Amino acid sequence: MLASDSLPSFPKHRTIILVEDQLDLRWLLKRRLEINGYTCLEAENGIEALSLIQQHPSISLILSDYLMPGMNGLQLLQALRLNSINRAIPFILVTATWSDQLRHQALSEGAYAILSKPYHHSDLLQLLGQGISHQAA
């Protein structure tokens, strides 16, 4: 039995923008998500992510690291929420620098969830599925 077989059934074959400045981590995460049926578009930072969103209006979810050069994950979330079209896209912020203040700020800015590093891949898959299902509802 595969680990993914025990996970709840959520929508698959959806497009995610994966925003991560560390190439090796981005590559690994993209491969793991693709194995689970997701299509991933990659951005190295928030500025690249904004460009991808303009090019691909049918994004199902954004998964973004918090600490990145240029534009961090929270700044990306704030920029997205300025545009009414982008407000509905679920946004999951991933961080190794957890704090209640960051959690409160991200949720008040409209993040769907915050995931603390390190995390289990099954927790990530569950959040992705829930976020996409929430958007579709």
Residue 134: pLDDT over 60:
yes
Question: Does a structural domain hold residue 2?
Answer: no
Question: Does a structural domain hold residue 41?
Answer: yes
Going from the C-alpha of 31 to that of each of 41, 47, 70, 137, the distances in angstroms are 11, 23, 25, 28
Question: Does a structural domain hold residue 97?
Answer: yes
Going from the C-alpha of 120 to that of each of 23, 86, 125, 128, the distances in angstroms are 20, 28, 9, 13
Give the domain CATH number at 45: 3.40.50.2300
For 44, the domain range is 13-136
Question: Does a structural domain hold residue 8?
Answer: no
Collapsing DSSP to helix, strand or coil, 5 comes out as helix
Categorize the per-residue pLDDT at 1 as very low, low, confident or very high, splitting at 50, 70 and 90.
very low
State the average pLDDT over residues 74-82. Answer: 95
Question: Does a structural domain hold residue 63?
Answer: yes
Question: Does a structural domain hold residue 1?
Answer: no
Question: Does a structural domain hold residue 67?
Answer: yes
- The 8-class DSSP code of residue 137 comes to -
Residue 137 pLDDT:
66
